Amino acid sequence: MNAPESKRAFRYVGTRPVRPDGVEKVTGKAIYGPDYQAANMLHGAILRSPHAHARVRSIDTKKAEALTGVKAVVTGADFPTTEHIIMAVGESSSDLVHLSRNCMAQDKVLYDGHAVAAVAATSDEIAREALDLIEVDYEVLPHVLGIEEALADDAPVLHDDVFTKGVNPTPDKPSNAAMRVEMGKGDPEKAMADADVTVSGRYTCEAVHQGYIEPHACVSAWDSDGQVRIWASSQGHFAVRSLTAKILLISEADIRVTPLEIGGGFGGKTTIYLEPVATLLSKKSGRPVRLAMSRAEVFRASGPAPGAVIDITMGANKDGMITAVDMEFKYHAGAYPAITAHSGASSALSHYTIENSRVIGWEVLCNRPGTKAYRAPGAPQSIYAVECALDEIAEKLGMDKIEIRLKNAARPGDPNIMGIPQGEIGYVECLEAARDHPHWSAPLGPNQGRGIAGGAWGNYGGPSTAQVSIAEDGTVLVTTGSPDIGGSRAAMAMMAAETLQVPYEKVRVAIADTSSIGYSMVTGGSRTTFATGLAVTNASNEIIENLKGRAANIWEVNASEVAWGEEGAVCLAEGKTDETMSLAALAARTTFMVGAIGAESSVNPGGFLPGVGVHICDTEVDPETGHAKVVRYTAIQDVGQPIHPDYVEGQMQGGAVQGIGWALNEAYLYNDKGCLDNPGFLDYRMPVASDVPMIDTVMVEKFNPGHPYGIKGVGEVPIVPPLGAVACSVSEAAGVRMRDLPLTPDRVHEAMHPDD
Amino acid sequence: MPSQAYHAPATVDEAVALLSGEPDARPLAGGTDLIVQMKSGRNAPDAIVDLKHIAALSGVHRNGDGFAIGAATACTALKNDAALAAAWPGVVEAANLIGSVQVRNRATMGGNLCNASPAADAVPALVAAGATCLIAGPAGEREVPVEQIPIGPGHTSLAPGEFVVEIRLPGQVAGGGDAYLRSIPRTEMDIAVVGAGVNLVLDGSGTCTAARVSIGAVAPTVLLVEDAAAALIGSKLDDAALDAMGKAVSAACNPIDDKRGTKKYRIAMVAVLARRTALIARERAGAAS
Ligand SMILES: Cc1cc2nc3c(=O)[nH]c(=O)nc-3n(C[C@H](O)[C@H](O)[C@H](O)COP(=O)(O)OP(=O)(O)OC[C@H]3O[C@@H](n4cnc5c(N)ncnc54)[C@H](O)[C@@H]3O)c2cc1C
């Protein structure tokens, strides 16, 4: 469905112009991470652990170093000793020591694919040949992959310096339970005891990879004066700079990171894997060094979203009012502590107003790659269990599944689980849009089921810098520090055009390197259009004020007597009201006399609002084979004011498809040695185009009063509802409640034919 | 990938000479298995003998009542031959389930067969159709049934220096029809968890007079299940006959648990698939009689 007519009279905001970076991308000419070449560059390759868990007794690199064409070899011993400080990594954070050891193992390897050594050579073939010559003496240790197994008393413990955080007093024995969080309010125990109906269940889902098309890649050059240049694709080149600087003990001003086009990140490129390694190889060899992961390396060694085990009990009164929720979830952290459980806990119930709740979350270490952000990190898993439990309550009460949600929906002003009042969220409007959508009332065919689920994500603001300058001919240059993943160049150009009242085609957007613009946080957290857009708008407004002053000088009137409009400066002073001066004329006339026209704005805005959505999913189950096919899907979301509706709908559709993959087929398959058995797209089964129907989208446009263009973050919410929507739909179609994702044909078949 | 010799012979004789001359030379057709295996390090032949430049190995030709399909013919090209697609829709569909359009523009049935994967999609359909292979080698030519080529995962009965020149299909008889179905978790771009090919002949009364039933991905090689065919022959493909056929294929298979499916699921699925495939073959046979 197309966007409803924009409620506000904007000229560009809310329209669908062609994106400025489109032609280069569709003609295959844009330079992505793995495409970049530097003059005189060497080719790097990384030796990775074949063991899930082992102590590295020794590494002998002599033979590799002696191979003709090899210019440098690096191991963990080349990494400086860093301190245990907590570093911001995108929306999350990590211990610096762990970040460093994830780039290159030191005394222990913690997962199949963990980097143990790296080589730079004059060709890729030589580099790979050299890897075979490196001798690593491993003492293989018992490994653990599953959440419950990792928490068992006799489980192999990954780190001897990790003591459960969030438990009072801190335990004196190290364990795989890296963190515990607890949130809640009221008296859930009493409320549960008093409830008219209760449901309980254990829900599970698997770790899933973001599946970006472009593998991680970078080129790093350690210049002779000790300054470093890095070219990389990432969600944030300032994050690449700060993490590389801290790991290698270099000052940030000595590293210049140039962003390349990025082929997908979804949260997974807010961290670093290769840059410190390439930098050390360059330092040793004196030449630029390129490192690029293969698809198998991406799967084995980059961070997925955590899998989860979630126990939930929900209680309600006869009218469908949820009176109590008691849930405890455990997330896979992977090899290093993560903090996803925190957002998992704060998101779990955020779209409902529930008086009595207790939400406990755990982060559990295991011998898998460390988990990383993936669209709304932590929320899809916990909300999956909440939405399914709600479905079960509705079923028990014989209540309509939208009615029960409307009854409990969080409304603006309602306190969330942490007691903070909700802002202008549109969950009720989304539920009403779902109820009114033809999908909700369409008849179902045989073997079909319909599921509905809601979801929310907090979104973020965060620091951003933008510069806007006016060229001598009056065309507009916008420069930001935010990599363009989902079409943000177009959005920035549209907001500049809207504010300056110039045609969209007159605005060009560049993304500057870390030495050419002020700090900007990663493109992530659904923050870029919101926060960087605000910086662009502010800078544009500052330029208007400046131009009004210039026009006032020319007209010899007060600046307050000059207005700004489509024509440019407009004189309001008596007797001169027919005077106007276009942006082009002002630029041509004043640039050389007065000086360059430009402004910079750095922001760190509050005013961001959570995103909420509701998805409806129809599946058809083949009762003989257990195949579940999604036959109809509608995604409804409160998107605030969409700047470029195509890209908003694209986010909604993309997130829905990723969630469908999570629900139906995606999973990491490990063999009994703890090695990944499906490190490729053939057997890591993301949905292909023919697996999904057209995802219908409905944008509910509830303007955000905290932003000049009413923006709400839209990129993360859409992966939250699909797990519940698909699971409830398949459960209805199969006639049996399915609580363990993914719903692969053999699992559904087994559930439908338990006695076979 | 360490460097290899690459040869592009123009005739069958040159290819035989090259394949027998090098100790570890491999024929290359579409390369959609071989190149992938070489890149992953699973396979490192010293020499590659590209069959795509031998004119006789490309295209679909009439062979009496039947067809001769050059071993270097891409799967997509099979669809474009109207007579072949009309006579053997099951074979053409099976070959065009492989991978994606891009993959099928390169991939061949010869490669599918000689890669000797138990899950190869074209093979059960070819076996059910009663296809044979013309093989060239240092000792001259020979013709063998398709089911005799694979002998285990990744292994064939081809002698050193031998390769498949063409795949031969008989003419489809009046009242005959074939079909192939596979089960995969997604809708495409997956390797078969189970596959079933059926070719059968119906007489004017709808009674099955001949049948071949073949199953894939449920044993170390694609199997021709004679008991399953016997269950159909003489019946009108009523439920009892289809059930008996289902039991026969389930009994014949010898699958493993792997990342693509469990043993239990495969045994249950092979009966479901064979039954569905037989019903499509019956439709087609009925239409042809
Ligand atoms: C993305 C992807 C998806 C795939 N999906 C499927 C699928 O769905 N179903 C399926 O069955 N397969 C699938 N495959 C595997 C592959 O595409 C098929 O097996 C294909 O038919 C192989 O044919 P080819 O011509 O490319 O063989 P090649 O790779 O050229 O050769 C395969 C093997 O056969 C040998 N060989 C080739 N031709 C001859 C000959 N004439 N005589 C003797 N030996 C020969 C080669 O030496 C090699 O060992 C997929 C592959 C990829 C990459």
For B48-57, how does the pLDDT look when each residue is reduced to its tens digit (9 = 90+)?
A: 999 999 999 9
Residue B98 near ligand 1, beta carbon < 6 Å: yes
pLDDT of residue A3: 41
Q: How far is CA A227 from CA A119, A289, A350, in A?
A: 21, 15, 46
pLDDT of residue B50: 98
Which class in CATH covers the domain with range A7-29+461-603?
alpha beta
For A197-226, how does the pLDDT look when each residue is reduced to its tens digit (9 = 90+)?
A: 999 999 999 999 999 999 999 999 999 999
pLDDT of residue A1: 37
Residue B161 near ligand 1, beta carbon < 6 Å: no
The two beta strands, A695-700 and A628-638, are parallel
For B169-228, how does the pLDDT look when each residue is reduced to its tens digit (9 = 90+)?
A: 999 999 999 999 999 999 999 999 999 999 999 999 999 999 999 999 999 999 999 999
Q: Report which protein residue has its CA nearest ligand 1's atom 33.
A: B115
Q: What is the pTM of this model?
A: 0.96
pLDDT of residue B1: 45
Q: Which residues of A touch B243 (CB under 8 A)?
A: none
For residue A47, what are the β-bridge partners?
A117
Distance CA(B192)–CA(A682), nearest Å, equals 11
For A75-100, how does the pLDDT look when each residue is reduced to its tens digit (9 = 90+)?
A: 999 999 998 999 888 777 889 999 99
The two beta strands, B176-183 and B60-63, are unpaired
- The sign of the CA dihedral B62, B64, B67, B73 is negative
pLDDT of residue A2: 38
Q: What are the residue ranges spanned by the domains of chain A?
A: 7-29+461-603, 378-459+609-752
Residue B111 near ligand 1, beta carbon < 6 Å: yes
* Model confidence at B153: pLDDT above 90: yes
Mean pLDDT score of chain A: 96
Distance CA(A332)–CA(A364), nearest Å, equals 5
Across B6-28, average pLDDT: 95
CB contact under 8 A, B190 and A745: no
Question: Quick one: residue B206, left, alpha or beta (phi over 0 = left, psi -120 to 50 = alpha)?
Answer: left
* Model confidence at A6: pLDDT above 50: no
- Which chain A residue shows the shortest CA-CA distance from B39? A294
Residue B125 near ligand 1, beta carbon < 6 Å: no
* Model confidence at A694: pLDDT above 90: yes
Give me the numbers of helices (H) and strands (E) for chain A, helices first please. Answer: 20, 28
- Which chain A residue shows the shortest CA-CA distance from B265? A746
Q: Closest Cα of chain A to B186: distance in Å?
A: 6
Q: For B5-53, CATH number? A: 3.30.43.10
For B98-149, how does the pLDDT look when each residue is reduced to its tens digit (9 = 90+)?
A: 999 999 999 999 999 999 999 999 999 999 999 999 999 999 999 999 999 9
Lowest mean pLDDT among A208-212, A336-340, A739-743: A336-340
Distance CA(A724)–CA(A720), nearest Å, equals 8
State the DSSP string of B190-226: S--SEEEEEEEEE-TTS-EEEEEEEEESSSSS-EE-H
The type of residue at A590 is: T
pLDDT of residue B286: 86
A685 touches chain B (CB under 8 A): yes
Rg (CA), chain B: 19
Residue B115 near ligand 1, beta carbon < 6 Å: yes
Distance CA(B76)–CA(B83), nearest Å, equals 15
HSE-CB of A564 using CA atoms within 13 angstroms: 20
Q: What are the residue ranges spanned by the domains of chain B?
A: 5-53, 55-169, 176-288
CB contact under 8 A, B188 and A690: yes
Q: Quote the crossing angle between the two packed helices A722-734 and A645-664, to the nearest 10°.
A: 50
A681 touches chain B (CB under 8 A): yes
- The sign of the CA dihedral A5, A8, A9, A13 is negative
Fold classified for A378-459+609-752: Aldehyde Oxidoreductase; domain 4 (3.30.365)
For B265-276, how does the pLDDT look when each residue is reduced to its tens digit (9 = 90+)?
A: 999 999 999 999
Interface A-B, measured as beta-carbon pairs within 8 A, has a size of: 51
pLDDT grade for A475, boundaries at 50, 70 and 90 = very high
If interface means Cβ-Cβ distance under 8 Å, which residues of chain B face chain A?
1-2, 40, 183, 185-191, 193, 259-262, 265, 268-269, 272
8 A C-beta contact, residue A518 and residue A453: no
Q: Which residues of B touch A296 (CB under 8 A)?
A: 40
Q: For B55-169, CATH number? A: 3.30.465.10
pLDDT grade for A7, boundaries at 50, 70 and 90 = low
Q: Which residues of A touch B272 (CB under 8 A)?
A: 624-625
A683 touches chain B (CB under 8 A): yes
pLDDT of residue A257: 98
Tell me how far the alpha carbon of residue B101 lies from the centroid of ligand 1, in angstroms.
Answer: 14
For A356-399, how does the pLDDT look when each residue is reduced to its tens digit (9 = 90+)?
A: 999 999 999 999 999 999 999 999 999 999 999 999 999 999 99
CB contact under 8 A, A746 and B186: no
For A629-661, how does the pLDDT look when each residue is reduced to its tens digit (9 = 90+)?
A: 999 999 999 999 999 999 999 999 999 999 999
Q: Closest Cα of chain A to B67: distance in Å?
A: 32
Among candidate residues A209, A191, A458, the one with its CA nearest the CA of residue A348:
A458
pLDDT grade for A748, boundaries at 50, 70 and 90 = very high
Across A695-722, average pLDDT: 97
**How many Å separate Cα A265 from the centre of its chain?**
7
pLDDT of residue A4: 41
pLDDT of residue A92: 79
Q: Name the one residue in this structure whose structure tokens are 């009439």.
A: B62
- As a whole number of angstroms, the longest Cα–Cα distance in chain B is 62
Distance CA(A719)–CA(A713), nearest Å, equals 13
Tell me how far the alpha carbon of residue A73 lies from the centroid of ligand 1, in angstroms.
Answer: 38
Q: Which residues of A touch B187 (CB under 8 A)?
A: 629, 688, 690-691
Across A585-591, average pLDDT: 97
pLDDT of residue B2: 53
CB contact under 8 A, B259 and A683: yes
pLDDT grade for A5, boundaries at 50, 70 and 90 = very low
Q: Which atom of ligand 1 is nearest to the CA of B162?
A: 43
For A47-62, how does the pLDDT look when each residue is reduced to its tens digit (9 = 90+)?
A: 999 999 999 999 999 9
Question: Quick one: residue A523, left, alpha or beta (phi over 0 = left, psi -120 to 50 = alpha)?
Answer: beta
Fold classified for B176-288: Enolase-like; domain 1 (3.30.390)
User: Is it true that A7-29+461-603 and A378-459+609-752 share their CATH fold?
Assistant: yes
Among candidate residues A391, A235, A376, A236, the one with its CA nearest the CA of residue A306:
A376
For residue A478, what are the β-bridge partners?
A468, A509
8 A C-beta contact, residue A305 and residue A345: no
* Model confidence at A510: pLDDT above 70: yes
A132 touches chain B (CB under 8 A): no
Tokens of A501: 């009242």
ipTM over 0.90: yes
